[in-house]
């Protein structure tokens, strides 16, 4: 698992709403606490999930 830190302020609620309004059915999933997207690179397939930790300003 990887983490990505950010500098506040960053409005994750707004960002998740933005992504949800534009989500591609069957490719992206947006919930109250995470964003997920399926992808394929060559013959490899997987899902990338971003889960924000608001208290630590970190994305998992």
What pLDDT, on the 0 to 100 scale, is given for residue 24? 97
pTM of the model: 0.83
List, in order, residues 6 or more apart from 40 with CB less than 8 Å away. Answer: 46
Average pLDDT along the chain, 60 residues, taken 10 residues at a time? 90 93 97 96 97 93
Structural domain that includes position 47: 4-59
What pLDDT, on the 0 to 100 scale, is given for residue 27? 97
Number of domains in the chain: 1
What pLDDT, on the 0 to 100 scale, is given for residue 14? 93
What pLDDT, on the 0 to 100 scale, is given for residue 1? 79
SS (H, E, C) 9-34: CCCHHHHHHHHHHHCCCCCEEECCCC
What's 26's domain CATH number? 3.30.310.20
């Amino acid at each position: 698992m990887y983490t990505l830190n950010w500098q506040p302020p960053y409005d994750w609620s707004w960002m998740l709403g933005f992504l949800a309004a534009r989500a591609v059915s069957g490719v992206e999933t947006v919930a109250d606490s995470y964003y997920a997207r399926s992808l394929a690179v060559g013959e490899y397939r997987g899902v990338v999930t971003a889960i924000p930790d608001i208290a630590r300003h970190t994305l998992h």
